Amino acid sequence: MKQILLNPGPVTLSQRVRDALQGQDLCHREIEFSNLQRKIRQKILAAYALDNKTWASILLTGSGTAAVEAMLVSCVPPSGKILIVENGVYGERMTKIAIAHNIDHEKLSTGWDQVISLKKLDKALDGSRYSHVAIVHHETTTGRLNDIAAISEVCRKHGARVLMDGVSSFGGESIDFEKWELDACAATANKCLHGVPGTAFVVARRVLFQTTHPAKSVYLDLAQYLVKQDLGETPFTQSVQCFYAFDEAMNEFLEEGGWQARHQLFSSRMSKVQKKLLSFGIKPLIELSESSCVLNTFQLPLGKVYQHLHDELKSLGFIIYAGQGHFSTKVFRLSLMGAISENDMNRLLEALTKTLR
């Protein structure tokens, strides 16, 4: 049976993206690879209408975490200090990265189901001890879409630059790179952009790399990637087949109407699922007005064990996703990215009825 992935990446692939994996074998030192890489880099910037003079997209072989780690390692100078804002697993992961690389940092933690308090942020940044604030846009732990517009205003007031984990929002949510004055945003091919896992990227301001610092990582040094990629080269072997698939996924993404179209698509799918679940008394964990269109977390119905719900839905062809940490016995998560047809959606609604009745 065809399995539809309702986990927040990797996603169910379209036939067109899957077929692209069959592209010819390619040496990463040949002009064909260089052209492929250049096209993908342009399409990533086109996704948010970013100017190539100010912004660079930098391609990495790795999962989303590689991009987040590369961003933190490469965009904070040795004299810098980051305030890491946490309200879920992915914010906490950035703190782990800072610790692993000995990056000067403090954290501002909020409960996983809580809104980030602008007041607390303002207070924490007071005295301008921080050069940067690192924050997750869409906290996939809960589905909360953090209000980066408001948060970035507080950061600006204190002269702190924003580094954003946009791994599960890039391509599906509005990201105002200029207005939010982002320094960099880390993302991946295999979530809202519908590519295959294996390629991740960082969109960063070119100016960040105009002064050079000793690299804190060999593999994740964005400065080195940028120099090479601007020359049409790559410092290391890239996942060539994943690049083919990513290029095709970007064609599909741009043809379909970019992030706005995807936002609308994900939202309309999600509202159908919300309605169905609500008819069984199953409520979302956080306010819908504070949720992303990409993923929602729902309270498990009374007397229903996650594993049973998961297994029943799996037997009907749908893979749902567990909560993390202390949420694991209380909630389940549903993401509606990927190549999901009308028919798949109807089957999903039927499957939910069958398992929840």
Please state the closest distance from residue 304 (CB atom) to ligand PLP, in A: 25
Task: Give the three-class secondary structure for 203.
Answer: strand
Per CB under 6 A, does 68 bind ligand PLP?
Answer: yes
169 or 355: whose CB is closer to ligand PLP?
Answer: 169
Q: 4, 5, 6, 9: which one contacts ligand PLP (CB under 6 A)?
A: 9
Amino acid at 207: V
Pairwise CA distance, residues 227 & 238, whole Å? 15
* Region of residue 293 (left: phi > 0; alpha: psi -120 to 50; beta: else): alpha
Residue reference for tokens 């580094």: 163
- Based on the number of CB atoms within 10 Å of its own CB, is 335 exposed (0-12), middle (13-18) or buried (19 or more)? buried
Residue 116 is classified by DSSP as: P
295 or 340: whose CB is closer to ligand PLP?
Answer: 295
Please state the closest distance from residue 16 (CB atom) to ligand PLP, in A: 22
Per CB under 6 A, does 171 bind ligand PLP?
Answer: no
Q: 61, 87, 188, 234: which one contacts ligand PLP (CB under 6 A)?
A: 188
Number of shown-chain residues binding ligand PLP (CB under 6 A)? 13
Please state the closest distance from residue 354 (CB atom) to ligand PLP, in A: 29
Query: Of all residues in this chain, which one has the CB nearest to ligand PLP in the complex?
Result: 64
Per CB under 6 A, does 165 bind ligand PLP?
Answer: yes
Among 67, 144, 65, residue whose Cα is nearest residue 57: 67
Q: 37, 110, 131, 140: which one contacts ligand PLP (CB under 6 A)?
A: 140
Rg (CA), the chain: 20
Structure tokens at 108: 């501002």
33 or 298: whose CB is closer to ligand PLP?
Answer: 298
Per CB under 6 A, does 69 bind ligand PLP?
Answer: no
Cα-based distances in Å from 272 to 66, 89, 306: 34, 27, 21
Residues that bind ligand PLP in the complex, under the rule CB under 6 A: 8-9, 63-65, 68, 90, 136, 140, 165, 167-168, 188
